[in-house]
Structures are given as structure tokens and as C-alpha cells.
Amino acid sequence: MAGFDLTLFEKKPVLGILRGIDVDSLEGVLEAALSGGLRFLEITLNTSSAFLLIKKASEQFPDFCVGAGTVLSAESAQRAVDAGAKFLVAPNLNEKVAEFCRQNNVVYFPGALTPTEIEKAWSSGATMVKVFPASQMGPNYFKLLKGPFDHIKLMAVGGVGPQNIPDYFSAGASAVALGGSIFSPSRMANREFPTIQKEIEEFMFAVNKICSNISERDLANHTS
């Protein structure tokens, strides 16, 4: 997968977050994730050997779009891109990272929470703003945000699962993320790959159902 395919991400709007994975577990976890239907994932830079893991994942799994998470400086942004990262994610907005992404045409998902932070992140060139931690605010917060910010694309990160996915999308989220609840360090280290694949399949099924309904509704509105 060359570069970041935004059209595909909008069709499969799920970002996987790998934090604390080790080199020995990488292949098994990625095979499980790929079989489960995931296509976009980040490896956080506070993971040991993160740059090596990004390089290996990018080279060995070309069907994945691999990015770097927890990118807190322009220097680490450069190292991540050099290692093969196709997009950058952070829990916050760093203006130097934002500038790096603008200059190098790199997809950037900075984190924000308050309306002021969200608008600033979007104005800095974010491809989508990562609302984190979403679980602390709930789906209704997205609905409220989309009132004044109907032009800003929001990603729900933190506490998202098959049970509340419909609520986040119906409230205005453009994408969601899955992380530690599925990719827990102990589960990855213990090679519980079938469990990881099964839970990703359940997550993706819930998202695909929602996205299919949205597409059908948009088509009906367009033809009516």
C-alpha cells in the first residue's frame, strides 16, 4: 500500500494502536489483524524498538498502512517517516510536528479534547482530529462538537468498542480506533493471536455495518 489512501480509510475508518508490542510478536499480531480486516495501524514511539518495528511492519506487510503514534517532536516525526511510517498520530497537537507534516505532505492525526484545542489542531493542518480520551466525554460530546464544527473530521479514541461504535458514528465521528482492549501487551506477548483476530473481526463487523448503512442512506438521498 503506497502512501496513505484517505479514500480507503474513509471506507474502513478504523485505526489500530499497537503499544508495547515486541519484535517476536510482531508478525503474529499483524497477521491476526490483517485477517481480522484491519488495514491501518500505528506503532507508538514509546514502544521499545519502535522505529525497527515500523520498518519491519512496513516492509513485511505491504497490505497494511503503517504509521507512528505518540509522535511528540519533529525529530521523532522525521525518524518515523524515514523508518516507513505513512502517517503520524499524537495525543496532542505539536506545532513543529504539524509544520513537518505540512512541509512533507504527511497525514497527521493530532489529539485534542476541548473545542479550542480541536479547532486549533484542524487549523494546523490535521487530516482528522483525534478526540482523546473519548471515553471521558462520550458520544454525545461529538454531537455537540459537530454543531459548530460540522466541517472538522473527528476520530474517537479511547474506550470505543462494538457496543458503542454506532453511537459514535451517529454522533458525527468520522473514524474510530482500537487499542489496548484488543492489543494488550500481555495478550500479544502470550501470542493469543486467535483471540486478537476474533475481537478485531467483531470490531470491524460493527464498523462495516454502520458504514454500509451510511453509504446506502447517502445514495438514497442523492437519487431522491
| 75 carries an active-site annotation | no
Among 42, 56, 86, 199, which one carries the catalytic annotation? 42
Among 55, 56, 86, 130, which one carries the catalytic annotation? 130
| 199 carries an active-site annotation | no
Q: Are 68 and 94 in contact (CB under 8 A)?
A: no
Closest CA to 65 of 104, 113, 12, 105: 12
Q: Provide DSSP, the chain.
A: --S--HHHHHHS-EEEEE-S--HHHHHHHHHHHHHHT--EEEEETTSTTHHHHHHHHHHH-TTSEEEEES--SHHHHHHHHHHT-SEEE-SS--HHHHHHHHHHT-EEE-EE-SHHHHHHHHHTT-SSEEETTGGGT-HHHHHHHTTTTTTS-EEE-SS--TTTHHHHHHTT-SEEEE-TTTS-HHHHHTT-HHHHHHHHHHHHHHHHHHHHHHHHHHHHHHH-
CA separation for the pair 103, 95 (Å, rounded):
12
| Active site members | 42, 130
